[in-house]
Amino acid sequence: MHANTNAGAADFPTSLIAGSPHEGFELAIRLSRLGVKAVQPDVEILKRLRPAYASDADSLIASSQVIAIHFQTIAAANDYWSRGGSR
């Protein structure tokens, strides 16, 4: 894939530290989305694609998988929130 390497600097989190699993999950969702935007930066095209894939079970499961992989990274970064929520 040819990717736009200047992917959303403004949107990008400055840290992987999250205050709770819920915040970590939100961050995983953002990273998943930023991965898509890196390959297709045209927001209009992304909006046009949305209704179809958001109603397609396999696309939803695949999206959930990308979130799961990023959540794995973020959970590790936060030491699984098991020692007071930060590393």
Residue 80 and residue 40: Cα distance in Å, rounded?
A: 32
- Binding of a copy of itself by 70 (CB under 8 A): yes
Residue 77 and residue 6: Cα distance in Å, rounded?
A: 24
- Binding of a copy of itself by 53 (CB under 8 A): yes
CB of 79 to a copy of itself, least distance (A): 9
- Binding of a copy of itself by 19 (CB under 8 A): no
- Binding of a copy of itself by 18 (CB under 8 A): no
From the list 29, 11, 32, 13, the residue with the least C-alpha distance to 21 is: 29
Dihedral of the CA atoms 22, 26, 29, 35 (nearest 10)?
-130
CB of 39 to a copy of itself, least distance (A): 5
Residue 64 and residue 41: Cα distance in Å, rounded?
A: 21
Q: Interface residues with a copy of itself (CB under 8 A)?
A: 1-3, 5-7, 9, 12-17, 20-22, 25-26, 29-36, 38-40, 45-47, 49-50, 52-73, 75-77, 80-83, 86-87
